[in-house]
Structure 1
Amino acid sequence: MLERFPPAEAVALSALAESHGFTGVMASDHFQPWIPAQGESSFVWSVLGAIGERTRGDFGPGVTTPGFRMHPAVVAQASATLAAMHPGRHWLGLGSGEALNEHVVGPYWPEAPERINRMFEAVDVIKKLFAGSLAGRDVRHSGQHFKLEATRLWTMPAVAPEILVAASGPVTAKRAGRTVDGMITIGAPTEKLAALLTRFREGAREVGRDAARMPKVLQLHLSWAPTDEQAMRDALSEWPNGGLRIPRSDIRSPFEFEQLARTVRPEDFAGRMVVSADPDVHRADIQRHLDLGFDRIYLHNAGRDQAAFLEVFGRDVLPGLRA
């Protein structure tokens, strides 16, 4: 969570995580933190480059939004460069965006259906650039939202990065299954997650793809600390997002978000985010999501003492998980 840690610390924690048995890193692409107290928001592509040098596992932005702050062609170039430097390790996560990050460059902020259509058109642009560049030819695009004059990416890996799309609704999940390599979503009630996975599989099946071989990725927020009381304090102060029960994609300022976050109470985390000092409770929740059908789960702990979290989970949680 680059909103919460300075970039050098985030890189060091990524390396520390790997030393405790974690095998990959997802880094947030924010222009602003969610709330002012989080205090950071570094440029994800710079941090990912450093993470690639300090670790050996997979890594990617989860997720970046092409088309507002950066044109899809620039996102494609950034991703291709990382993949060329670290073959087989980098993946590209794309989302439809949130006003908190994207409104800062001053465009009209569209409603959700248009944002989703923009995202999938951006996917088309990026896929064209990846495929054309690998084939050694220029490509063009002229669509409803984006234009690309004849060009190619001159730095490419031997194999294009996987493209994963963030989905929080059934329509997006199904389109992801039809059009990209995999899906990313965040922790939610079991019924919702099961429905998203079903729709993703349906979309893949419609175009003759095997969803079982496609990445299904979960970003799981949690709060662990040595005591239950500290875990709850961390959740309320550091990650009130986990208990907020209103849509957040149209919020424009960390200070606005701070006002809304003050309404979050301990009971609001129930069923949405595990808050506990017991590693076994967290292990059971992670296992539940693996059993549901997710292939990769990236954990975000709300507390500031990430070193203690990584040590405890590396020792007491990860070894007990079954793929």
Structure 2
Amino acid sequence: MTRIGFHASHEQISPRQLLVDVQHAERAGFDMAMCSDHFSPWSTRHGHSGYTWSWLGAALATTELALGCVSAPGQRYHPAVHAQRIATLGQMFPGRFWVALGSGEASNEHITGDRWPDKEQRTQRLEECVDVIGRMLDGEEVTHRGLVTVDRARLWEIPDPRPLLIGPAVSAASAARVATWADGLVTINQPADVLRDLLAAYRDAGGRGQASIQIHLSWASTEDEAESIAHDQWRTNVFSEPVNWDTETPQAFDLMGEHVGLEAVRKAVRVSADLGRHRDWLAEYADLGFDDLYLHFVGQDQAPFIDAFGEHVLPSLSD
């Protein structure tokens, strides 16, 4: 059965309010939740970027939801320290925490002052980090010298079960590559033919586990308001790679966003005041073969969205 999750966007909402929101989402009937892990927002209009790992501990402790995040080891996060973070949450909340390990974006990683590598080197660095983290979660003492360096690192808290290490992918090629190590797949909403090819590439390459999708959406009581929210909040998030990988500051994203119209935003965000239309869109993602749908309402006031979808959308999808 398809499960429906809530996405907590740290770039857009303060961690204190997001904790209230995820608790609200649980009461409204959402099955699970996920969150972002950024050092800075995509736009100065977003205006937030709390520390994900502190928030995750509070969210797991004050709900019964399974939670996960998309995170990038290798530059801002040393893989051994990352393994300790993952293991601690996994040990405290058995079976309820997962992490998707990606190669990162310059907007978060440039803060170290280190050179931002090209895409292939970032992918190789990620794969080294995945190997280090996985071996440490299995209880090994790890020494590694490559694009990252680890010296005799061992975890003293071993989680049981081991938290799932999920592979994020937005193309068929990246889906096939993460299939070699991932315990599951997560992607974002894209055209149906792209998603179909992406899922096929993951499974054909031996990919296992659940297939999840994060769906950016905008809903309000009127179409004009739904469009206004989407354009205000998400016009800086419509750029494809390498622009979204390599741009370093919210101010730069804002400058590019000045030239983005509503039609471009509609290609990245499901926009409608009609809850039935949203139900149909979500059902289409389930029909493509996605097990878990994480809903990201791109506005900053989450309460009306949580209430409306909890009452009118989630029950019909469960049925």
Q: Is the structural similarity TM-score above 0.5?
A: yes
SS of the counterpart of 1:185?
A: strand
| 1:187-240 Cα shifts (integer Å, max 9, x gaps) | 1111111111111101116xxxxx3xx011111101011111000110111121
Aligned residue in 2 for 1:263: 259
Contact 2:42 2:237 in 1 (8 A): no
Contact 2:14 2:48 in 1 (8 A): yes
SS of the counterpart of 1:248?
A: helix
Q: How does 1:45-124 map to 2 (within 5 A)?
A: 45-61=53-69, 63-124=70-131
- For 1:251, the aligned partner's letter is T
TM-score, reference length from structure 2: 0.93
Partner Cα separation in structure 2 for residue 43 and residue 276 of structure 1: 32
Partner Cα separation in structure 2 for residue 242 and residue 225 of structure 1: 20
Aligned residue in 2 for 1:191: 193
SS of the counterpart of 1:194?
A: helix
Q: Which has the higher contact order (CA 8 A, sep 6+)?
A: 2
Superposed displacement of residue 159, structure 1: 1.5
Aligned residue in 1 for 2:29: 21
Superposed displacement of residue 269, structure 1: 2.9
Instruction: State yes or no: 1:248 paired with 2:244.
Output: yes
Aligned residue in 2 for 1:153: 155
Q: Which aligned runs of 4 or more in structure 1 are off by greater than 6 angstroms?
A: none
| 1:41-65 Cα shifts (integer Å, max 9, x gaps) | 011100111110111111011x110
Partner Cα separation in structure 2 for residue 101 and residue 295 of structure 1: 29
**Which one of the candidate residues 298, 302, 306 is aligned to 1:306?**
302
Seen in structure 2, the aligned counterparts of structure 1 residues 305 and 151 have a Cα distance that, compared at 3 Å, is closer
Aligned residue in 2 for 1:42: 50
Partner Cα separation in structure 1 for residue 263 and residue 117 of structure 2: 33
Partner Cα separation in structure 2 for residue 74 and residue 237 of structure 1: 36
Contact 1:164 1:182 in 2 (8 A): yes
Aligned residue in 2 for 1:139: 142
- For 1:9, the aligned partner's letter is Q
Aligned residue in 2 for 1:316: 312
Partner Cα separation in structure 1 for residue 279 and residue 31 of structure 2: 17
Superposed displacement of residue 110, structure 1: 1.3
Partner Cα separation in structure 2 for residue 32 and residue 229 of structure 1: 29
- For 1:226, the aligned partner's letter is S
Where does the alignment leave 5 or more consecutive residues of structure 1 unmatched?
206-210
Seen in structure 2, the aligned counterparts of structure 1 residues 245 and 199 have a Cα distance that, compared at 3 Å, is closer
Where does the alignment leave 5 or more consecutive residues of structure 2 unmatched?
1-8
- For 2:153, the aligned partner's letter is T
- For 1:195, the aligned partner's letter is D
SS of the counterpart of 2:206?
A: helix
Instruction: State yes or no: 1:289 paired with 2:285.
Output: yes
Percent identity over paired residues: 38
Seen in structure 2, the aligned counterparts of structure 1 residues 164 and 85 have a Cα distance that, compared at 3 Å, is same
Partner Cα separation in structure 2 for residue 320 and residue 78 of structure 1: 37
Partner Cα separation in structure 1 for residue 67 and residue 112 of structure 2: 27
SS of the counterpart of 1:321?
A: helix
RMSD: 1.5
SS of the counterpart of 1:181?
A: coil
The number of residues matched between the two structures is 310
SS of the counterpart of 2:268?
A: coil
Contact 1:244 1:268 in 2 (8 A): no
Aligned residue in 2 for 1:221: 216
Partner Cα separation in structure 2 for residue 73 and residue 151 of structure 1: 6
Partner Cα separation in structure 2 for residue 183 and residue 189 of structure 1: 17
Instruction: State yes or no: 1:279 paired with 2:275.
Output: yes
